[in-house]
Amino acid sequence: MNMPLPVSQLLVIDPCVETQSRIARYVQGRGFSVTSVPDPMAAMATIEGATPDIVITDLFLPDGAGLALVKELKARHEPYPVIVMAHNAPEPLIVEALRGGAIDYLHKPVAEDELASVLQRAQEFLPCHPLDVPGARQFDYELTIDSDPAYIPGVISWLLKMTASALPPLQRIHIQGALQELLFNAVEHGNLEIQGQEKQKALADGCYDQLVAKRLAQPRLRERRVTIRVFHERSDNHLEYRITDEGKGFPWQTVLARSQEVEDSEAASGRGIFLTKAFFPDLTYNERGNEVTIRVPLG
């Protein structure tokens, strides 16, 4: 199946409506869909809902929020390029932004030619879908990650960008939700052996981070890894994600058989799997319960 090339999603973060409008006007008809927000809080909410391809942010947001946002996105290992823009920014600040994770600088007021050049350079940082390579028949990715839940959001963003960027937005949201559920299960319940009741109590008491730190302090648990394999063949109409942890496994048959109406806290951890299976009916586990596979239809 030849998946169509998607329109690039551009997120603009700037409180100035004129700047927002100017950028949207300049990129019109050039293969970009633009979303504009006034501040980092709105930007993060937008990013959580739909991962952009390129981010442009004002560097002089109040309280240094522009630079802080660049550094936060880099810390989260977000896969999209970030461009900073400002009016007469001092060179040391521009250098700090570039070292902090930005890939380019744009002068304000934004000029059409400069914007086009910056966006062209930014697109060189975008991942190419593997099957867009001439003659490619299949791709088979295997990614191994540490057992720290803090890494999961960045891993999911990378996976979506590298393996599902050409899929419709709603389907990407479904994959994102499934990967979030399954990876947290693999890391927390599988490798770190955190039970559902333990997690709920830690969250309620505000000590979830301490619970994770205690588990990671144990060499037996800290050395465990999660392996994610993503496979697709051009002749097939499915994309396959397989997640394997090094834990003891769990009674998945019982969890999948439960009704989502069950209210005890142990069952609460199973409702996410129940919902994931509702979106991806081909969800399967190995006998031990430490490996789960979902197959995503490609139309």
Q: What CATH number is given to the structural domain containing 264? A: 3.30.565.10
**Pick from 3-7, 205-209, 288-292: least confident:** 3-7
The larger pLDDT score, comparing residue 169 to residue 148, is at: 148
Same domain, 14 and 101: yes
CB atoms within 10 A of CB 90: 9
Percent of the chain with pLDDT over 70: 90
Q: What is the pLDDT confidence band of residue 5, given thresholds at 50, 70 and 90? A: very low
Per the prediction, the chain carries an average pLDDT of 86
13: in domain: yes
**Pick from 14-23, 130-139, 276-285: least confident:** 130-139
CA-closest candidate to residue 14, choices 89, 109, 81, 113: 109
Instruction: Give the CA dihedral 228, 232, 236, 239, nearest 10 degrees.
Output: 50
Q: What is the pLDDT confidence band of residue 128, given thresholds at 50, 70 and 90? A: low
Same domain, 210 and 267: yes
Mean pLDDT of 248-263: 70
Domain's final residue, options 88, 123, 158: 123
Count structural domains, the chain: 2
Is the pLDDT at 263 greater than 60? The verdict is no
Percent of the chain with pLDDT over 90: 56
pLDDT of residue 292: 96
Q: How is residue 155 written in tokens?
A: 């891993």
103: in domain: yes
Same domain, 60 and 85: yes
DSSP 3-state assignment of 125? coil
83: in domain: yes
pLDDT of residue 163: 84
Same domain, 244 and 154: yes
Is the pLDDT at 140 greater than 50? The verdict is yes
DSSP readout, 177-208?
HHHHHHHHIIIIIIIS---HHHHHHHHHHT-H
1: in domain: no
CATH code, domain carrying 27: 3.40.50.2300
31: in domain: yes
Same domain, 134 and 262: yes
Q: What is the pLDDT confidence band of residue 220, given thresholds at 50, 70 and 90? A: very high
**Pick from 37-41, 50-54, 151-155, 223-227: least confident:** 50-54
Same domain, 87 and 118: yes
> Which residues constitute the domain of residue 153?
130-297
The larger pLDDT score, comparing residue 107 to residue 165, is at: 107
Same domain, 289 and 156: yes
Mean pLDDT of 176-184: 94
Domain's final residue, options 123, 158, 174: 123
2: in domain: no
Same domain, 105 and 228: no
3: in domain: no
**pTM (global) more than 0.85:** no
Q: What is the pLDDT confidence band of residue 254, given thresholds at 50, 70 and 90? A: confident
Same domain, 70 and 218: no
Question: What's the CA gap between 220 and 222, in Å, rounded?
Answer: 6
Same domain, 107 and 250: no
242: in domain: yes
Same domain, 118 and 140: no
Q: What is the pLDDT confidence band of residue 2, given thresholds at 50, 70 and 90? A: very low
**Pick from 39-48, 142-151, 162-171, 212-221: least confident:** 162-171
Domain's final residue, options 123, 141, 167: 123
pLDDT, tens only, 74-92: 887 677 899 999 998 999 9
Same domain, 117 and 135: no
